[in-house]
Amino acid sequence: MPTDTPNILNYLTSEDICKIKDFSKDKATPFLVINLKKISDKYDVLSDLLPYAKIYYAVKANSHKSIIKLLSEKGSCFDVASIYELDLLLGLGISSDRISFGNTIKKSSDIKYAYNKGIRLFVTDSFDDVAKLAENAPGARVVFRILFECEGADWPLSKKFGAHPDLLFSLILEANKKGLIPYGLSFHVGSQQRDVGQWDRAISQCKYLFDAVKAEGIQLKLINLGGGFPAHYLKSTHKIEVYTNEIDRRLHEDFGNALPEIMIEPGRSLVADAGVIVTEVVMVSKKSFLDQHDWLYLDCGIYNGLFEAMNELIKYPVFLELADCQTNIKEFIIAGPTCDSMDILYINNKYSLSAEIKDKDRIYILSTGAYTDIYSSVGFNGFPPLKAYILDED
Amino acid sequence: MPTDTPNILNYLTSEDICKIKDFSKDKATPFLVINLKKISDKYDVLSDLLPYAKIYYAVKANSHKSIIKLLSEKGSCFDVASIYELDLLLGLGISSDRISFGNTIKKSSDIKYAYNKGIRLFVTDSFDDVAKLAENAPGARVVFRILFECEGADWPLSKKFGAHPDLLFSLILEANKKGLIPYGLSFHVGSQQRDVGQWDRAISQCKYLFDAVKAEGIQLKLINLGGGFPAHYLKSTHKIEVYTNEIDRRLHEDFGNALPEIMIEPGRSLVADAGVIVTEVVMVSKKSFLDQHDWLYLDCGIYNGLFEAMNELIKYPVFLELADCQTNIKEFIIAGPTCDSMDILYINNKYSLSAEIKDKDRIYILSTGAYTDIYSSVGFNGFPPLKAYILDED
């Protein structure tokens, strides 16, 4: 099935394109260019749409210092997945009361480390972890994560995180008994979730658990709605308003006007659309004289930035820099530069590009601000990790 | 389907285990330990079994300097995937006549760079690349890669590399016309190939092409048998002798006693079994009270060393360091430490381990000397890349 030929102007303005082209021209490919202004705008839109929600930026999506500084100045809080991310934030002067430790998988030593640095908000989903929290983070506020199957998400989070509500009920009582503060519930509907109804189901489960533990004398205070808000990839999805309206409606339906504290953890949705990977055509070839599709090999692939194209899960918009060749279009298979066949980006989904494409032509891969450079391998096949530049700084 | 409980002594001697345990005890997990002696032995075995084959170690499998130095001292040649690997070798004093540039996907500038450093042996599979070679590496010897579908390989190389023999035939004539030296043919049956018969088919195709271009006045001189020799993972395969005997038989059947020069490119088969990843249990948990399988979370996962467990393609042998708990066995799902569900190692294939397993227990993941630390992400979720130690050096 051919993919429809999309238009770069649905993603970037002509001014954006000129800026990137100008910024890029003397730099060796491949690299990522990040437009901070777009991140700032996305943050403002989300704040306006859910004004009562406290934003905890999921640092794992992109931990570039300039992004952290920008969001910190805008008043964002932060969610970290490890003590290394925690150290990065503290090193940038962000105070520990603006940081939540969201990874449910933690070593005792890491809990202790974070606690000693002032972290008092942790997410959990197991008896093992609650025992460690009680010992190493006494009196901390704990958020319990509900297991969620994430149907409809491009990048599902499956069963790895969270637990069944029945187990969480016991876990909340256990945490309370051990001197922790059962503070709230969290869930994550999956990254790049397309089905808005998934939030409804999750919020209902929160309501059920709020009530169930209240009967045991425990008053939960917070719901963490997680992330899952979309980025603008090839396959279209709803506008952000559709998500936030539905969430808002459902929260009020379940909790009336006495909403609990609301926390959200956007990552991808804040930073993805702000990134463009600039890559170069290394080779165009045929496998046999009769092949219908040529192969287009780029100097950026699965191992140096485009890991999320693995199994073609995320379909990035891909455009030739020289946009005046839109007349003679052909479908290509796209692959990365390494000696490894997992390093094929798109073979089931062909991409339509100019039939005249040739070596050294530059290609823009859009919406690549999240989960790209930080995923790069340290040096698979010797290739260095993807560089990242900030558009308005460097 | 439960996996049979394997025995660590099928992989390591008691002496090996003691050595690793002793070496590891003061080091923070996770890390990779490499036993150079094993690599040396594997090299010797392969040299003895195919004495007429020139070994070009595939540097991409593990580019640790100590491994390169060891193999260099033993007389090995090397195959590189990029100019970065080339620079590494040249920096270690390896002369350019012992190096082949095996990646068929090359920038003009990289061909020129390698040529200027003395590289005269290149692999190709396209008209695009041959044109670039003719311009940037005039008079170089060129090996043409045959497309091979790699059925039977755990890590197939599919259609990304090589071309159909009919196209290669024309390509050989073209290279000859452009002043390059058509030197030989190569193929790769896929990494961790289990079906010995795959080499037969490939060698027959070589014979066909040797004859076809000879009729045009071109005498090819070399066959590069590629890699694909097995490492000792969980799923058993033939001994290396079974492979080399079959290859030897087939070569003589097709070429009689006037064998062409034979080159092989082992990577995985030389280094995989020499590596052990030492990792620690971070958490053991249930998702619901009724779950049949517990989750075992390790501090090493897909993003910091175990990338080849992606989609459960490579099934590594996994053992508890304390081997005296073999009586009470239970099946576990195994996952890595990051906030990402792709970071699940084994969920379809459960692993049998002691039911008493707990936080901080150490786990050995065997046969992890190839394609592990070098695949690590630079810092996904903040976690640092996997460290590597040489057992007898550090």
Tens of pLDDT, residue by residue over A240-296, are 898 899 999 999 999 999 999 999 999 999 999 999 999 999 999 999 998 889 999
pLDDT per residue as tens digits for the range B58-116:
999 999 999 999 999 999 999 999 999 999 999 999 999 999 999 999 999 999 999 99
Distance CA B7, CA B5 (A): 7
Same-domain pairing of A218 and A302: no
- One domain for residues A220 and A254: yes
Distance CA A60, CA B377 (A): 12
Last residue within a domain, chosen from A266, A299, A328 = A266
Q: In this structure, are B261 and B327 located in the same domain?
A: no
In eight-state DSSP terms, residue B167 is H
Q: Which residues of A touch B125 (CB under 8 A)?
A: 285
* B128 domain-assigned: yes
Residue B79 lies in a domain: no
Task: Give the distance from residue A358's alpha carbon to the nearest chain B alpha carbon, in angstroms.
Answer: 9
A297 touches chain B (CB under 8 A): yes
Half-sphere CA count of A294, side-chain side, radius 13 A = 20
Tell me, yes or no, whether A342 lies in a domain.
yes
> Distance (Å, rounded) from C-alpha B195 to C-alpha B314?
16
Structural domains counted in chain B: 2
In a domain, B51, yes or no: no
Quick check: A277 and A375 in contact, CB under 8 A?
no
Q: What is the 8-class DSSP label of residue A377?
A: B
Does residue A235 sit in the same domain as residue A276? no
Domain end marker among A266, A294, A327: A266
- Which domain range does residue B366 map to? 8-33+272-390
User: CATH code at A372?
Assistant: 2.40.37.10
B25 and B132 inside one domain: no
Pair (A253, A326) in one structural domain: no
Same domain, A164 and A258: yes
**Which of B280, B359, B378 lies nearest to residue A376, judging by beta carbons?**
B378
- Do B253 and B214 lie in one domain? The reply is yes
In tens digits, chain A (394 residues) has pLDDT values of: 344 567 899 999 999 999 999 999 999 999 999 999 999 999 999 999 999 999 999 999 999 999 999 999 999 999 999 999 999 999 999 999 999 999 999 999 999 999 999 999 999 999 999 999 999 999 999 999 999 876 666 666 568 899 999 999 999 999 999 999 999 999 988 777 777 888 888 999 999 999 999 999 999 999 999 887 888 898 877 888 988 999 999 999 999 999 999 999 999 999 999 999 999 999 999 999 988 899 999 999 999 999 999 999 999 999 998 765 567 889 999 999 999 989 999 999 999 999 999 999 999 999 999 999 999 999 999 999 999 999 987 4
| DSSP helix/strand/coil, B158 | helix
Q: Shortest CA distance to B106 belongs to which of B73, B128, B89, B79?
A: B128
Last residue of a domain, one of A247, A266, A285: A266
Query: Whole-angstrom Cα distance, residue A341 to residue B75?
Result: 29
DSSP annotation of A41 reads H
Residues 6+ apart with CB under 8 A from B290: none
Å between A92 CA and nearest CA of chain B: 15
Q: Report the distance separating Cα A91 and Cα B244, nearest Å.
A: 56
Q: Which of residues 143-202 of A touch B (CB under 8 A)?
A: 147, 155-164, 166-167, 170
Contacts of A197 (CB under 8 A, 6+ apart): A246
In a domain, B82, yes or no: no
Q: How far from A163 is each of A144, A147, A166, A193, A210, CA to CA, in Å?
A: 8, 4, 8, 20, 15
**pLDDT by residue (tens digit) across B81-93?**
999 999 999 999 9
My answer on whether A333 and A209 are in the same domain is no
- Could you tell me where the beta strands, DSSP code E, fall in chain B? 31-34, 53-58, 77-80, 99-101, 121-124, 141-145, 153-155, 181-186, 191-193, 222-224, 261-264, 275-285, 294-298, 318-320, 329-335, 344-354, 362-366, 387-390
- Chain A residues whose CB is inside 8 A of the B107 CB are 280, 282, 299, 359-360
Collect all residues of chain B within an 8 Å Cβ-Cβ radius of residue A335.
Answer: 105, 160
Contact at CB, A285 and B59, closer than 8 angstroms:
no
The enclosing H or E element of A191 equals: strand A191-193
The CATH number covering residue B200 comes to 3.20.20.10
Find the residue in A nearest to B359 (Cα): A107
Q: Is residue A162 part of a domain?
A: yes
ipTM: 0.94
* One domain, residues B131 and B169: yes
**Is A91 a domain residue?**
no
Residue of B nearest to A80 (CA): B381
A197: tokens are: 């109804």
Q: Higher model confidence: residue B179 or residue A235?
A: B179
Of B125, B132, B283, the CB nearest to A128: B283
Q: CA of B281: which chain A residue's CA is closest?
A: A107
Whether A88 maps to a domain, the answer reads: no
Contact B158 A341 (CB under 8 A): yes
Same domain, residue pair B385 and B284 = yes
Statement to judge: residues A342 and A261 lie in one domain: no
